């Protein structure tokens, strides 16, 4: 038992070989049977890769840049999280049952676990990937504050688990490569967090083109402004502060933590970096997918 009424951290279960939060795995039968609408837009990411950022960008595009309309609801209600299921709050499937369709849908599922209906209905998909080192750091702090995760242990222990893929949603390496390999078979836009940091307006234009929206410089500028890290971290409808603290405790680490590329340099030791790089080469060998770890 933990002191002060703090609940025990749950362990992960294996869902067809992918480590998964148990309450998420429990609803996978329902998720498998989910019927996508041809007009639904899927936002897919490995955790901590810019999901909330791209979701806010896309919601603003859909709402013609109307910030007030986006402020009516928190991001997790505007963009239901397909496989999300935690006691005491509505699950992704429950939200989607009530949502006006077509709609925006978030997932962190590895490509092989995506319900087949998304492929059959030829839904458009936007995937965002972020470099492994910054994801590992961001995930380490998120594991601490989002209590549905197991205890991350020390940073060194967590980094080992990251390299082994022994964390919620499994291997980062398999995830980014799996979705990359599918991008040509599907109507998919594959974006990189580092590109969004480097030139948000350029990437917003790409998204608008993919969504067949007319180019509009003023709209692009407005969206870039409202989705900057500074703006989003202060926006209660985007920063997850409206989630009960029993689920996310921002006092441990804020959801909107730093929002930069290269924070890994403040976390990795030289030895950890060398070991990580060697393992990275092995795991990413042969892929045409390349990341920048600084911009
Ligand atoms: S989750 O829980 O998987 O959905 O998290 P996700 O939204 O994918 O990733 C959270 C990280 O993204 C950063 N973030 C941003 N960076 C730049 N600009 C904007 N607008 C932005 N919004 C969120 C957030 O701070 C997390 O990264 P870290 O490195 O932890 O700061």
120-172 per-position pLDDT tens digit: 999 999 999 999 999 999 999 999 999 999 999 999 999 999 999 999 999 99
Q: Taking 70 as the threshold, does the pLDDT of residue 77 lie above it?
A: yes
pLDDT in tens, 50-61: 999 999 999 999
The pLDDT score that the predictor gives to residue 118 is: 98
Evaluate whether 85 touches 23 at the Cβ level (below 8 Å).
yes
The pLDDT score that the predictor gives to residue 88 is: 86
pTM above 0.95, yes or no: yes
Ligand 1 pocket test target in 56, 84, 110, 138 with most atoms within 8 Å of CB:
138
Residue of the CA atom closest to atom 30 of ligand 1? 138
Q: Quickly tell me which residue has 């429950």 as its tokens.
A: 94
Q: Which domains are assigned to the chain?
A: 17-131+167-244 (3.40.50.300)
Q: What percent of the chain has pLDDT over 90?
A: 95
Residue of the CA atom closest to atom 22 of ligand 1? 53
Q: Round to the nearest angstrom and report the end-to-end CA distance of the chain.
A: 45
Evaluate whether 104 touches 207 at the Cβ level (below 8 Å).
no
CA dihedral 29, 78, 187, 284 (to 10 degrees): -70
How many other β-carbons are positioned within 10 Å of the β-carbon of residue 113?
20
Residue 193 alpha carbon to ligand 1 centre in Å: 9
In this structure, the residues whose C-beta lies within 6 A of any atom of ligand 1 are: 45, 47-53, 134, 138, 141-142, 227-229, 232, 256-259, 263
Ligand 1 pocket test target in 78, 147, 229, 234 with most atoms within 8 Å of CB:
229
Evaluate whether 49 touches 197 at the Cβ level (below 8 Å).
no
Q: Taking 70 as the threshold, does the pLDDT of residue 99 lie above it?
A: yes
DSSP-derived secondary structure for 195-206: HHHH-HHHHHHH
87 is catalytic: no
Atom of ligand 1 nearest to the CA of 46: 3
Token output for 68: 């007030």
Determine how β-strand 41-45 pairs with β-strand 188-192: unpaired
pLDDT in tens, 107-124: 999 999 999 999 999 999
CA dihedral 197, 187, 123, 287 (to 10 degrees): -70
């Amino acid at each position: 038992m933990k002191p002060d009424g703090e609940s025990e951290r749950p362990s992960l279960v294996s869902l067809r070989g992918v480590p998964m939060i148990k309450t998420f795995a429990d609803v996978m039968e329902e998720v498998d049977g989910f019927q996508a609408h041809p007009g639904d837009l899927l936002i897919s990411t490995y955790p901590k890769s810019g999901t909330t950022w791209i979701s806010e960008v896309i919601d603003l595009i859909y709402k013609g840049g109307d910030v007030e309309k986006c402020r009516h609801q928190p991001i997790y209600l505007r963009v239901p999280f397909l496989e999300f299921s935690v006691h005491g709050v509505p699950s992704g499937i429950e939200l989607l049952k009530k949502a006006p369709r077509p709609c925006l849908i978030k997932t962190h599922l590895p490509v092989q676990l995506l319900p087949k209906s998304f492929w059959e209905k030829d839904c458009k998909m936007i995937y965002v990937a972020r470099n492994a080192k910054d994801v590992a750091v961001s995930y380490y702090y998120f594991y601490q504050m989002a209590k549905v995760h197991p205890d991350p242990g020390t940073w060194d222990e967590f980094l080992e688990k990251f390299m082994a893929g022994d964390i919620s949603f499994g291997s980062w390496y398999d995830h980014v490569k799996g979705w990359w390999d599918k991008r040509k078979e599907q109507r998919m836009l594959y974006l990189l967090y580092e590109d969004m940091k480097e030139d948000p307006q350029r990437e917003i234009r790409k998204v608008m083109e993919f969504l067949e929206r007319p180019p509009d410089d003023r709209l692009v500028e407005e969206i870039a402004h409202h989705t900057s890290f500074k703006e989003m971290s202060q926006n209660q409808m985007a920063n997850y502060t409206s989630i009960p603290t029993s689920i996310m405790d921002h006092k441990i680490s804020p959801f909107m933590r730093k929002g930069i590329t290269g924070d890994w340099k403040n976390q990795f030791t030289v030895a950890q970096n060398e070991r990580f790089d060697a393992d990275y080469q092995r795991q990413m060998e042969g892929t045409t997918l390349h990341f920048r770890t600084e911009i």
